[in-house]
Amino acid sequence: MSQILNIALAGNPNAGKTTMFNALTGARQSVGNYPGVTVEKREGQVIVGEKKINIVDLPGTYSLTAYSQEELVARDYLVNERPHAVIDVVDASSLERHLYLGLQFMELGIPMILALNMMDDVRKSGKKIDTEKLSELLDMPVIETVARTGEGKQKLIQEAVRYAEERNGTWKSIKISYGPDLDPVLLDMADLIEKEKFLTDLYPPRWLALKYMEGDVQIKSFGDKAGDIGKKLNQMVEKIQKHCRATLDTSPEAIIADYRYGYIASVTRQGVITSTGQKERIIFSDKIDQVLTHRIIGPCFMIGVLYAMFVLTFSVGEVPMGWVEAFFAWLAGAVAGFTSPGLLQSLIVDGIIGGVGGVLGFVPLIMVMFLGISFLEDSGYMARMAYMMDRVLRIFGLHGCSVMPFIVSGGIPGGCAVPGVMGTRTLRSPKEKLATLMTLPFMPCGAKVPVFLLLGGAFFHGAAAEVLFWITIGAWLTAFAVSWVLRNTVIRGEATPFVMELPPYRMPTIKGIFIHTWERAWQYIKKAGTFILAVSILIWAAMTFPSLPDDKAKVFEDQRKIVEAQRAADLNPENQEIFKKEIAKINNMEAEAALKNSLAGKIGTSLESLTSIAGFDWRINIALMGGFAAKEVIVSTLGTAYSMGDLDNENAGGLSDRLKNDPKWDTRRALSLIVFVMLYAPCFITVVTMAKESSWKWAAFSVFYTTILAFLASAAVYQGGRFFL
């Protein structure tokens, strides 16, 4: 193999670009993030003849302005990496609209091949596209494809390789006319840029001039740094802006868009597209929409879909989740079997296996949820959901697309914030995404539910289910209210425009859905796994060290010896059970003493003076700190702290009685704890996932603000409750 050819795959969202990428590269692909941004980067290899081709999937964009991250990434990749060719994948049934991006590639001058995708739809609709004529008019290879079936993909890649070699890295930009007002100025600006050699090694001069007129932030900042040239260009643009405003009441930017669409129309109307009227696919989509976005049926159907998604995630996901958990339980048991009890065993079993098992246990949930989300996205329904929900969520500074992550996070109790946070990827608008991320953790996730059930059962006359219902309502209201506050303070900013495509409904490809799902799950395993392992060891250490001083440990040891001696002496088998219980009780008391003596216990005790305002003692403090590692830990830690021994979540009945009979516990305290658990810091795994979706700064912010909010709310409930309860 001589040379590796780099070919970029570009196109509008919903053009079938990803399906084409999957069809071309098969399983040989990898996903990562573009440096510094959250946009996904996918690469894959394919061999054509003797040549190795590296295909880079650029983010889907409608244009090449530098407004969104996606657009900037796509553009920077093309000009900085200079791939040998770019394949523009367009939806042939909406050719005019999709050529808008293609035209911008042509203006940039990069060697380009046009893939007329979804040709099967075009043929069915009775429309005809004269591919040869189009190829001639655009002066580039044009290939008909159907990415879903793989039709034309061989020809496409072969032609791309041939064309890339023929062009041999030369860029030829086309110059289209922007009318009598802009053309002369563009010419002058291009001449000036040429003369001063401003960025001419990267961009064609006329293209730079166009970007200046469009007010492109990135190019302008380059110009400002270059000094004089920037100033001159700015002056020229200002002058033409004033002229356009005065004579035509419009902006150069608008004129440029007009002329681009004009150029496209001039191409497509030269007998390229001959329509026989019927537009079946859209008509079919319209018919579905008449039902699915109907005023009454639409929302009902949507609630059904959301509920089904939820049930699917947590009932189907629970099965393999059970296997993963069972595997780790078995592993823990096996390791405990051949190591001797002690610190090392505790580290491996409780710290490492417990920590990693906890993380990997989520993988099945994440996969099932992404299967669902990928399906909803690829089928086109997700866009309809956003369309229907937007009006309501907009009030709170959120976006129509926010509803899904909320539901998955526990908007219906029992969800989980980890897949919810990953689900925010469907939100393209950065501010709304952040607001969604920051308020998701209020939802009653599956790990918080046992706490609510325990306290609800013990202190609210067994009405745990009603308590859970009101908690859920409270969680939604809090999330909306907080989101509203955040969007008017720290995440301030205009609502992102809702100019959104409603793609025609289509059946997603199974391959595409599975590839998506696996990519995301693998990213989660890889990145979250390593980091969380370290933290779970730290937390284990905080709850273990320093260990009980020898003299105190000896007291328990002596007690145990006495009971053992009694047990050995008593031959009555009926009494054996009593002795066993006696020993377990001593073990539990030792565990309680050890926990109080550990670093976590000491912190818990030292926080008492503060947390007593909300009614929490050192035991609750430790449980809540443990809950930061994983909310599941709260009930089991409370069990240890109240010397109930290890408790599993389902079997907290003993603890419930114990709390009910404890004079320090009352409804006031229970309510305060419920409020705190509902609101305080998301668990550690969520925080790590959140940092991946936004930044560590925002993840840290979420930990602090939620905890402070939780404390204030709990304190208010506890102190205020004095007068009511």
Partner 1 sequence: MERLCLRQMLVNQSGVIKSVKAEGELGRRIRDMGLVPNTEVTIVGRAPLKDPVALRLRDFTLSLRNNEADFITVEVPGV
Query: C-beta of 513: minimal distance to partner 1 in Å?
Result: 23
Task: Determine which residue in the list 132, 286, 557, 648 makes contact with partner 1, applying CB under 8 A.
Answer: 286
Q: By the 8 A CB rule, do 99 and 264 touch?
A: yes
| Pick from 228, 86, 240, 217: nearest CA to 163 | 86
Q: Specify burial of residue 460 (Cβ count, 10 A radius: 0-12, 13-18, 19+).
A: middle
CB of 429 to partner 1, least distance (A): 11
Residue choice 31, 41, 67, 589 for contact with partner 1 (CB under 8 A) = 67
Among 70, 88, 159, 390, binds partner 1 (CB under 8 A): 390
User: How far is residue 615's CA from residue 617's CA, in Å, rounded to a whole number?
Assistant: 7
Three-class SS state of 631:
coil
Distance, in Å, from the CA atom of 711 to the CA atom of 610, rounded to the nearest integer, reads 10
Tell whether residue 627 is among the known ligand binding residues. no
Nearer to partner 1, 450 or 504 (CB): 504
Q: Provide, rounded to whole angstroms, the least separation between the CB of residue 497 and partner 1.
A: 5
Site for partner 1 in 239-278 (CB under 8 A): 249-251, 253-254, 257-258, 261
Work out which of 34, 100, 212, 406 binds partner 1, going by CB under 8 A: 100
Backbone angles phi, psi at 42, to 5 degrees: -120, 140
The least distance separating partner 1 from the CB of residue 236, rounded to whole angstroms, comes to 19
Residue 25 is labelled as binding a ligand = yes
Please select the residue that binds partner 1; options are 41, 51, 97, 124, rule is CB under 8 A: 97
Q: Which CB sits closer to partner 1, 64 or 454?
A: 64
- Residue 447 assigned to a binding site: no
Q: Which residues contact 551 (CB under 8 A, 6 or more apart)?
A: none
Tokens of 143: 């290939």
500 binds partner 1 (CB under 8 A): yes
Strand ranges of the sheet holding 51-57, from the earlier edge strand across to the other edge? 29-33, 40-48, 51-57, 4-11, 85-91, 112-117, 142-144
For partner 1, which is the closer residue by CB, 174 or 282? 282
Contact 643, 597 (CB under 8 A): no
Residue 546, preceding peptide bond in cis (omega within 30° of 0) = yes
Shortest gap between Cβ of 94 and partner 1 (angstroms)? 4
In the beta sheet, which residues pair with residue 16?
Answer: none
Among 328-336, 380-388, 649-657, 666-674, which window interacts with partner 1 (CB under 8 A)? 380-388
Least Å distance, CB 262 to partner 1, is 8
Closest separation between CB of residue 224 and partner 1, Å?
19
Among 296, 568, 569, 571, binds partner 1 (CB under 8 A): 296
Per the CB < 8 A criterion, the answer to whether 605 and 619 are in contact is no
| Three-state DSSP state, 96 | helix
Strand partners, 146: 151
Chain residues 36-65 in contact with partner 1, contact rule CB under 8 A:
62-63, 65
Ligand-binding site membership of 319 (annotated): no
Q: Per DSSP, what are the bridge partners of residue 11?
A: 89
Consecutive H or E run containing 6: strand 4-11
d(CA 423, CA 374): 10
Is 12 annotated for ligand binding?
Answer: yes
28 touches partner 1 (CB under 8 A): no
Of the ranges 199-207, 283-291, 343-351, 476-484, which one interacts with partner 1 (CB under 8 A)? Answer: 283-291
- Shorter beta-carbon distance to partner 1: residue 14 or 656: 14
Show the tokens assigned to 117. Answer: 């995708």
The residue among 501 and 646 lying less far from partner 1, judged by its C-beta, is 501
Relative orientation angle of helices 449-459 and 464-488, to the nearest 10 degrees = 130
CA–CA distance, 595 with 643 (Å, rounded to integer): 10
What is the size of the binding site for partner 1 (CB under 8 A)?
Answer: 47
Min dist. Cβ of residue 246 to partner 1 (A): 16
- Report the nearest approach of partner 1 to the CB of residue 107 (Å): 15
Minimum distance between the CB of residue 471 and partner 1, rounded to whole angstroms?
28
Least distance CB 282 / partner 1 (angstroms): 7
- β-pairing, 51-57 vs 40-48, is antiparallel
CB of 295 to partner 1, least distance (A): 5
Q: What are phi and psi of 200, to 5 degrees?
A: -70, -15
Q: Which is nearer to partner 1, 20 or 388 (CB)?
A: 388
Q: Nearer to partner 1 by C-beta: 254 or 329?
A: 254
Beta-carbon neighbour count of residue 34 at 10 Å? 18
Which stretches of 74-158 are assigned E, i.e. beta strand? 85-91, 112-117, 128-129, 142-144
Annotated binding residue 587: no
| Contact range with partner 1 by CB under 8 A, out of 323-331, 388-396, 627-635, 672-680 | 388-396
Asked if 96 is part of the footprint of partner 1 (rule: CB under 8 A), the reply reads: yes
> What is the Cα–Cα distance from 440 to 436, expressed in whole angstroms?
6
Per-residue x/- mask for partner 1, residues 334 to 373, rule CB under 8 A?
----------------------------------------
Rounded to 5°, the CA angle 306-307-311 comes to: 120
Kindly give the pairing relationship between strand 51-57 and strand 128-129.
unpaired
- For residue 8, list its beta bridge partners: 56, 86
Residues 6+ apart with CB under 8 A from 75: 64, 66
Find the part of the chain contacting partner 1 (CB under 8 A) among 291-299, 315-323, 586-594, 698-706: 291-299
Q: Which residues sit in the known binding site for GTP?
A: 11-18, 36-40, 57-60, 117-120
Q: Which residues sit in the known binding site for Mg(2+)?
A: 22-23, 25-26
Q: Which residues sit in the known binding site?
A: 11-18, 22-23, 25-26, 36-40, 57-60, 117-120
Q: Which residues bind partner 1 (CB under 8 A)?
A: 62-63, 65, 67, 91, 93-97, 100, 214, 249-251, 253-254, 257-258, 261, 279, 282, 285-286, 289-290, 293-296, 298-299, 383, 387-388, 390-392, 394, 497-504
